């Protein structure tokens, strides 16, 4: 049976009506599709952190001018981590970067990053777990000495 579109949607009072968010001063916007179409789930923690930082830092066109040093300090990322995360978000078609300015882009039709799969086997950990990969790389360098 089709929904009756002539009736207004039910009124759902918020738990804290004295604290309803308002856009004042800055402008930050994340569409519901970011969650509902799988973009949120497709990103890892560092990717989500940088994406949301850029959303919060951007103007109404999604443009921001934060430098890597400030971003790394705020997000507690090393420069190498930041570069990898920034480049992934560019590859996923979520942001643009011209060397000086960032722009958070409108969402592409579907997430380009596959959702992370759980690490179950030892091979999964050897191939995808950052701590395990770091341990393997360090041990290979130690053997060369």
List, in order of start, the domains of the chain with CATH numbers.
25-113 (1.10.10.10), 115-145 (no CATH)
- pLDDT (average), residues 31-40: 92
- Taking only the tens place, the pLDDT of each residue in 58-113 is 988 999 999 999 999 999 999 999 999 999 999 999 999 999 999 999 999 999 87
Determine if the pTM surpasses 0.75: no
The 10 Å Cβ neighbour count of residue 71 is: 21
- Taking only the tens place, the pLDDT of each residue in 133-144 is 777 777 777 766
Q: Which pair of structure tokens corresponds to residue 7? A: 């009736």
* pLDDT at position 114: 67
Query: What is the rounded CA–CA span in Å between residue 33 and residue 37?
Result: 5
Q: Which pair of structure tokens corresponds to residue 73? A: 């300090």
The 10 Å Cβ neighbour count of residue 10 is: 5
| C-alpha closest to that of 44 among 75, 68, 79 | 75
Q: Are 88 and 120 in contact (CB under 8 A)?
A: no
């Amino acid at each position: 049976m089709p929904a009756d579109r002539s009736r207004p949607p039910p009124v759902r009072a918020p738990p804290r009506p004295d604290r309803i968010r308002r856009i004042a001063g800055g402008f930050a916007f994340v569409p519901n599709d970011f969650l509902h179409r799988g973009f949120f789930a497709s990103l890892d923690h560092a990717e989500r952190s940088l994406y949301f930082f850029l959303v919060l830092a951007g103007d109404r066109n999604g443009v921001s001018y934060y430098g890597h040093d400030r971003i790394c300090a705020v997000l507690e990322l090393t420069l190498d981590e930041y570069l990898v995360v920034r480049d992934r978000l560019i590859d996923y078609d979520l942001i643009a970067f011209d060397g000086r300015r960032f722009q958070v882009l409108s969402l592409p039709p579907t997430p380009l990053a596959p959702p992370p799969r759980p690490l179950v086997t030892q091979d999964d950990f050897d191939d995808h777990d950052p701590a395990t990969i770091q341990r393997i790389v360090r041990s290979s360098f130690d053997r060369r000495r």
